[in-house]
Amino acid sequence: MPHTPWRHLVGVGAGLVGVLTVLVLAFLWPAVTSEPRDLPVAVAGPPAAVAPVAQGLDERAPGAFEVVPAADRAAAVYLVETRDAYGALVLGEQPEILVASGGSPLVAQQLTALAPSMQAQLGVPVTVTELVPLLPGDPRGAILGAVTFPLVIGGMIGGIAISVTVVGVWRRVTAVTAYSVLGGLAVAGVLQGWFGALAGSYWVNAGIIGLAILAIGGVIVGVVSVVGRPGIAIGPVLFLLVANPIASAAQPWQMLPAPWGAIGQWLPPGAAAALLRDESYFPQAGTTQLWVALGSWALVGLLLAATGHLRDTGAASRAALAEASEQEPQLVPA
């Protein structure tokens, strides 16, 4: 009975170990390297009082916070509500710490922990005020912090399945678009209607999720349409191993080493997570860059898929090709 050569066995084992190592690095590297870095925090109050407090912040957590000056409490609240700051310190006769757990529970906890030292420094009681509390359906922010992984998997499954089972350029474009629309409606229904983990407009949330699925699945379909079956690897490599770990769905993107946090906001998982958070908690926040990021990825995927007339069969399986051939009209000799 023939056996697999030992050298082949060693090669397969080494290759699998390499894949495992890459997976571990991709998913755990962000957790190992994450730490507070230049998190914008508004400070409102008299200039003479702001400087000592800013210095105290830097001494307590060097490099963790970036002070954003605010004219008064109303200006500080506006900076938080527009996501230009993760929280605020309001100085004066009634010192106050403004936190926004909806933006980042981690930063809210860090700012709350400043109350005792700030009170000792100022010599008066310090009040902690929650401006943007977490939703009752997601009281720890865990659901919104983990939403990118199922979106990536869902987009990959749809893109790969359509690439393998659907023959024809426009049929693939139609299939991935329909899958994205229906997937967005269904997932938003679960997250918002069932779990209560999202707020704001259901239709906008469904659009964000659907666009994220299209950005991921459409790129897979598009690349496969152009280069064939090897293009399937774009999903696991780009979206699962690169984009998802740096999406920063559960923490501020500034906590990742530069420039990875900023890059993550231009990739579909990070842009979708930030948009869902803004729609649910920060309706006044500017979101143009995030919409542009998602829309650009979706457009690139559809354009690549539309040029797939060069390889109309894409990565279709033999079964899909056989089924497509059976559906073609047969010419009957006169």
Per-residue pLDDT at 328 exceeds 80: no
Element (H, E) at 128: strand 127-130
Given 130, 163, 192, which residue is the final one in a domain? 130
Q: Taking 70 as the threshold, does the pLDDT of residue 249 lie above it?
A: yes
Give the residue carrying structure tokens 């199922």: 150
pTM of structure: 0.89
Q: Are 66 and 152 within one domain?
A: no
Q: Examine the fold and report which residue of 109, 130, 151 is the final residue of a domain before the chain moves on.
A: 130
* 168 and 244 within one domain: yes
- List, in sequence order, the alpha helices (H) in the chain: 6-33, 47-60, 73-81, 105-112, 115-122, 142-145, 148-165, 169-188, 202-227, 234, 260-264, 268-281, 288-306, 318-327
- Note down the domain range covering 230: 142-325
Do 221 and 113 share a structural domain? no
Residues 208 and 294 in one domain: yes
- What is the total count of domains within the chain? 2
SS3 track for 27-78: HHHHHHHCCCCCEEEEEECCHHHHHHHHHHHHHHCCCCEEEEEECCHHHHHH
C-alpha 279/C-alpha 198 separation (Å) is 8
**Taking residues 28-48, what's their average pLDDT?**
84
Same domain, 93 and 194: no
Is 25 within the bounds of a domain?
no
b/e map of 62-74 (b: 16 or more CB within 10 Å)? eebbbbbebeebe
The predicted pLDDT at position 334 comes to 36
* Residues 188 and 255 both lie in one domain: yes
Cα 320 from Cα 171, distance rounded (Å): 13
Are residues 181 and 308 located together in one domain of the fold?
Answer: yes
Examine the domain organization and report whether 176 and 295 are in the same domain: yes
Does one domain contain both 258 and 295? yes
Instruction: Report how far residue 49's alpha carbon sits from residue 13's, in angstroms, rounded to the nearest whole number.
Output: 63
Take residue 232 and report the two structure tokens written for it: 């399937």
Strand, helix or coil at 129?
A: strand
* Tens-place pLDDT, residues 137-153: 999 999 999 999 999 99
Same domain, 93 and 161: no
pLDDT tens digits for range 293-320: 999 999 999 999 888 755 555 565 555 5
Type of residue at 267: L
d(CA 71, CA 58): 21
Q: Do 320 and 163 touch, CB atoms closer than 8 A?
A: no
Q: Are residues 219 and 319 in the same domain?
A: yes
